Structure 1
Amino acid sequence: MVTSYIPLNLDECLKILSDKQVRIVAGGTDMLIQNRSHTSMPIGFKSDVCYISNIEELKKIYEDETFVYIGSVCSLEAIMESELVPELLKNTILEMASPAIRHTATLAGNIGNASPAGDSLVPLYLLDALVEKRSIKGVSKVALSDFITGVRKIDLEKDELITKVIIPKISFTKSYFKKVGPRLSDAISKLSFAGAYKLENDLVKDIRIAFGSVNVTVVRRRDLEERLIGKTKDEVKKMVSEIVDWYEEFIKPIDDQRSNKEYRKSISLKLLRSFIENIE
């Protein structure tokens, strides 16, 4: 028999996580699919669950001089409507989910699911997002790129809870997100791409490129980005074919029911080419 726990505050939740073996549920949009019954029976959870969406401490979006903080049970809709959240992430959310899902699903849930096709992960990698996690033993912060260790694998102990997603405040001249799928907000991505750059006096001061659904985790290569820092925008645009060649070896998609690896690789590199060619 499955037991459900519904803590009313964060301390109560962390005590449950310390004492019990439970699955954490907020919006539950991924978990319900993973545990659904094909015989119209109730959801067949295989372990006890801890429902955290009533915890007020985790519903806040706020900022300081350096970061934007997003509570782990904030819905995608609340994030999209917040004036504090970067436009790149808001534009991604608009494309990644239908209104019904946006009002239920959470950003932290998308992170915790750690799917290579998780659309929100692509801009979060690009924005150097951090994950705050807590237990009764304390609090720690880890880069998202270190928190996700593989396909559906994360650096989270059984007594720990994701409490915040932390995004550094960064200004770009332009940022861009593109999802490729059979339908936009109602379908899992075949692939996704995000790019952003900052120009000062026609010099590239910052440039970031990330791909989703083309490897076991989001592909972002800071070593390749650094090669472009300090060049003029025209120099970078003339290097477009070379840049595409740099990234080709890191684009390693698979065949599955949504698409094939040849298509994914071809379109990913075309999106990269278009992004570089349209730096202005």
Structure 2
Amino acid sequence: MVSAFRPDTLQEALAILHEHRVIPFAGGTDLMVQRRRGSGLLPTFEYPVLFIGHLDELKEVRSGDGKVRIGSVCPYSFLLGDERVPWSFKRVLIQIASPAIRNRGTVGGNIVNASPAGDTLPYLYAFDAEALVQKWDAQRLIHVRDLVTGPGQTALTPGELLTAVIIPQVPFNRFFYKKVGSRKANSCSKLSFLGIALVEDGVVLDVRMCFGAVAPTVVRDRKIEEELVGKEVGKMGDMIPGIVRTYESLIKPIEDQRCTIRYRKEISFRLLEHFLGTVLVL
């Protein structure tokens, strides 16, 4: 028997979070897998479930002031059809799992699940996205990179709920995203790479590079990025080996049923080389 709450409003949900120890439940695409017990058996939840996936207040999408605000329980498929959602983010969303999962899975769930292989995380790190976190009597903004603290771990405190994700509209004219999996559809990520840059007259004005599923959290090194700003893309070739060597100390993947450590490292470096040596100079 699973106990549950189904609030009618966000404020009611926050009040329940304040008064009870519960497990927020939006799409359930991760929770149901994590708590499955086998055929014919109900999943196990150590605390009552708080259903929030139906709350309209958490399904809003707004754009303005150079930012896009996405409600935390917006399903991926809903976002794919919304013209306010950046095309670059849609390039990531369309590669998540299968249509059935995209109809249920949510951006908020992908963040708080805090998997190293979370599909949206490299994009949100690269764009310096912020999370709006609310309690029944307070709220705060925190960068997604600071909210995710480790595999399955976040900086959420008791009573807090992720209610929205805010993505700045960063200017760029180079974009590259690659998700590596066993097959095109319904695939968990073995690793992923996302790179964006602003290049004018052959000079790098901004560049951001993020790796997913190759460390406890997304790998992004701002120091390396800063060193590339002001460089001519035509002369980038001589710098690439040194940049790769720097990332060798940052990329620390695990070996699991999906692939080996060697594979994750080798493909990560090849994607990095492709971005720096090919995408930037287009």
Q: TM-score, normalization: structure 1?
A: 0.97
Q: Alpha-carbon deviations, 1:193-233, whole Å to 9, x = none?
A: 10111112211011010001110000000111000001111
Identity score, percent: 41
Q: Does 1:3 align with 2:3?
A: yes
Aligned residues: 280
Q: Does 1:255 align with 2:255?
A: yes
Alignment-derived partner of residue 177 in structure 2: 177
Could you tell me whether the CA contact under 8 Å between 1:27 and 1:109 is conserved in 2? yes
Structure 1 gap ranges (5+): none
Stretch deviating more after TM superposition (16-25 or 96-105)? 96-105
Which AA in structure 2 matches 1:113? Answer: N
Structure 2 gap ranges (5+): none
Q: Alpha-carbon deviations, 1:141-177, whole Å to 9, x = none?
A: 0011110011110011120110000100112112111
Q: Does 1:160 align with 2:139?
A: no
Which AA in structure 1 matches 2:153? Answer: K
Determine the C-alpha separation between the residues in 1 that align with 2:161 and 2:197.
33
Alignment-derived partner of residue 236 in structure 1: 236
Could you tell me whether the CA contact under 8 Å between 1:88 and 1:176 is conserved in 2? no
Determine the C-alpha separation between the residues in 2 that align with 1:142 and 1:99.
30
Could you tell me whether the CA contact under 8 Å between 1:181 and 1:188 is conserved in 2? yes
Structure 1 residue 179 displacement after superposition:
0.7
Alignment-derived partner of residue 97 in structure 1: 97
Alignment-derived partner of residue 142 in structure 1: 142
Alignment-derived partner of residue 65 in structure 1: 65
Alignment-derived partner of residue 82 in structure 2: 82
Alignment-derived partner of residue 206 in structure 2: 206
Distance 1:128 1:185, change over 3 A: farther
Stretch deviating more after TM superposition (88-97 or 25-34)? 88-97
Could you tell me whether the CA contact under 8 Å between 2:2 and 2:44 is conserved in 1? no
Could you tell me whether the CA contact under 8 Å between 1:215 and 1:253 is conserved in 2? yes
Determine the C-alpha separation between the residues in 2 that align with 1:185 and 1:64.
34
Could you tell me whether the CA contact under 8 Å between 1:211 and 1:218 is conserved in 2? yes
Alignment-derived partner of residue 106 in structure 1: 106
Determine the C-alpha separation between the residues in 1 that align with 2:86 and 2:195.
14
CA RMSD of aligned residues (A): 1.1
Q: Alpha-carbon deviations, 1:14-54, whole Å to 9, x = none?
A: 00000011000000000000011214212222210000012
Determine the C-alpha separation between the residues in 2 that align with 1:87 and 1:247.
28
Other structure's SS at 2:166 match: strand
Could you tell me whether the CA contact under 8 Å between 2:57 and 2:71 is conserved in 1? yes
Other structure's SS at 2:164 match: strand
Could you tell me whether the CA contact under 8 Å between 2:72 and 2:107 is conserved in 1? yes
Stretch deviating more after TM superposition (81-90 or 263-272)? 81-90
